[in-house]
Amino acid sequence: MPVDASGLHLPEEPGVYLFKNSDGRVLYVGKATVLKERVRSYFAKNPDRAMIPRLVSEADIVDCMVTPNPREALTLERELIRSHKPKFNSLMTDDKSYPFIALTSEDAPRILYTRHPPTDATLWGPFPDAGAAKRMIQLLRRQFGVRDCPTLLPQGCLSMHIGLCAAPCITMDGYEQRVEAVKQVMSGKADDFLSALQEDMDVASEQLEYEVAAQRRDLIAAVQRTLSQQVVSSRFYQDVDAIGFASRGDIGAVVFLHAKNGVVTGQTHYPLLHRGDIAESVSLLITEHYQSRRPPRTILTPTPINEHLGEWLKEIREGAIEIKTPLRGELATLRGLADQNAEMQAQRAFDKRSSGNLEQKSAIECSNYLQMESLDTVVCFDMAQLQGEEKVGACITLRNGRPDKKSYRTYKVKQDVFDDLRMMREVVDRWLKKQDEWPDLLLLDGGETHLSTILGLLEENGLHDRIQLAALAKKEETLFRPNRDPLILDRRGRILVFARDEAHRFVNAFHRKRRGRSALHDPLEEIEGLGAKKLQALLRHFGGRKGIGEASIKELQQVPGIGYSLASRIHDYLHN
């Protein structure tokens, strides 16, 4: 039965209201400065939004929650929308999966890519582009050497040796400043930090402490490189975020263009389900975007926003803030550019939903099946050998469910080993030392013994908590993972079966190629000092293998490049 306005008894206080049906399902969540007046407006004869008559007709109950002030209502509204996903609210698509960059509060802080950040960590995000978040962490680690390992190893780890970590496990000298550099860069407050570093460098140089001065110089260069991306410039773009909006039906996109010190430095975009109210969609994304970011001095919006949202932004910024909807001038041009980018993102999302990406869907389906955050990048290893000869290994890479042929690698086993486990250990170890970014899953063609062998290798290098590892056995397509029960894959795990089969195909093709080369190998090349050129000279001089076999040592010496010693070895090899 539709809700009756005359039966509502709501307080004249700030808070959040919820329209529900008879089953208790939340249909809509809204916030209000005065609950009684705001909810009464939904029953006016001329509602200001097209969805209101449908909402009122489907709702049976109007519930409310009082808050101390309107700003608290804003925060509560966002959390209730995330929790209930009401059908009449604009919704972020996949809103729970957006990752954060976190800096822990440990004595030697570590940087994390996480969807479940620690409560006491410093956060930046959320990042709707998971790949961008991972690339940012790699950039920060490469530039500043902040660790990401879960434990401090007294001997250091692989990241230290490949230049991705400043090794605070060995020495904390200068590590605090590296961490502070990351905080300043990620918070957009690098100018003061650069000035302080410059002063430290000058003082150290005057005091002839050249190593300290060099450290400060390198840190300054790293900060400047991190901030060096510049796209569009204008003297008006001093500390501005321009927000753009576009939609295709119920598919919407909100874009934040970031500008500072006269240049546009990048953008962040969010896909969402749009319910027809632009102000509501934009407000939803503003609260999401700035909950763990410091807002800029000026925010340009496509439509005026609620004044309480402005007050909330001032609290987050801890300072004055301007919220404008410009109609002309340089700022309007920047706002229009944000709309253009939003148009592009909305069209992409619409096309993607229309056509579909089966490979990406398979990757998402499998990550949900395995309860993993993502399977955007999968690397799979397999080995091949024949009677102890031509021992080779290979790995293939899937990105977003598709083969990335440029990342395929082949290996010839160097050690004199003949079992599959030690061969795979050598190959994976060589692969690890070439990486500066880890995949979402490292997959092995094998069973529990392969899993335990490579897990031991990862533990030795301090990587067991950073690389997800699994082994896929052909028998019943059984997946083995550390500290998990074996899992027989069903249709949802088909992307892992494809990765294993592709690695098997690739390594066998490489093995056949190596065997083909061996078949062309002449046994005479085993003689010390007899290479391909001297062998060709012998064949030309004697007209073939039979002539070489019948030649004496003296006759062999008549061939250019063949001395007595080599001639003797050739003669002995052929006649013994």
Cα gap 265→294, rounded to integer Å: 16
456 three-state secondary structure: helix
Q: Which among 254, 257, 300, 304 is positioned nearest to 279, based on CA atoms?
A: 304
Cα gap 61→1, rounded to integer Å: 9
Q: Is the pLDDT of residue 48 over 70?
A: no
Q: Which of 40-49, 219-228, 307-316, 348-357 has the highest mean pLDDT?
A: 307-316
As a whole number, mean pLDDT of residues 471-496 equals 90
- More confident site: 559 or 388: 559
- Going by pLDDT thresholds of 50, 70 and 90, the confidence category of residue 285 is confident
Q: What is the pLDDT of residue 33?
A: 85
| Pairing of the two strands 91-92 and 263-273 | antiparallel
Share of the chain above pLDDT 70, in %: 85
As a whole number, mean pLDDT of residues 128-142 equals 70
* pLDDT tens-place string over residues 271-283: 887 877 888 888 8
* pLDDT tens-place string over residues 78-116: 778 877 778 787 776 654 456 778 888 888 888 888 877
220 membership: H or E segment, kind and range: helix 210-226
Q: What is the pLDDT of residue 307?
A: 80
Q: Which of 120-129, 190-199, 360-369 has the highest mean pLDDT?
A: 360-369
264 three-state secondary structure: strand
Share of the chain above pLDDT 90, in %: 11
* pLDDT tens-place string over residues 226-265: 554 333 333 444 678 889 998 887 788 888 888 776 566 6
As a whole number, mean pLDDT of residues 296-319 equals 85
Residue 113, strand partner residues: 101
As a whole number, mean pLDDT of residues 210-225 equals 74
- DSSP labels, 307-365: HHHHHHHHHHHTS--EEE---SSHHHHHHHHHHHHHHHHHHHHHHHHHH--HHHHHHHH
- Going by pLDDT thresholds of 50, 70 and 90, the confidence category of residue 495 is very high
Q: What is the pLDDT of residue 427?
A: 92
**Where do the structural domains in the chain lie, given as residue ranges?**
5-89, 233-355, 366-518, 523-575
Mean pLDDT of the chain: 80
Q: What is the pLDDT of residue 520?
A: 45
CATH class of the structural domain 5-89: alpha beta
Q: Which CATH number fits domain 366-518: 1.10.1740.10, 3.40.50.10140, 3.30.420.340, 3.40.50.300?
A: 3.30.420.340
Q: What is the pLDDT of residue 1?
A: 53
How many residues make up the chain in this entry?
A: 576
Cα gap 412→428, rounded to integer Å: 12
Residue recorded with tokens 């004249």: 12
Q: What is the pLDDT of residue 93?
A: 60
Q: Is the pLDDT of residue 532 over 70?
A: no
Q: What is the pLDDT of residue 415?
A: 81
Same fold, 5-89 and 233-355: no
CATH code for the part of the protein at 523-575: 1.10.150.20
Q: Which among 277, 105, 79 is positioned nearest to 183, based on CA atoms?
A: 105
- Going by pLDDT thresholds of 50, 70 and 90, the confidence category of residue 499 is very high
Fold of 233-355: Nucleotidyltransferase; domain 5 (3.30.420)
* pLDDT tens-place string over residues 360-412: 778 888 888 888 877 889 999 998 875 446 688 899 999 888 899 888 999 98
Cα gap 561→542, rounded to integer Å: 15
Residue recorded with tokens 């900060």: 223
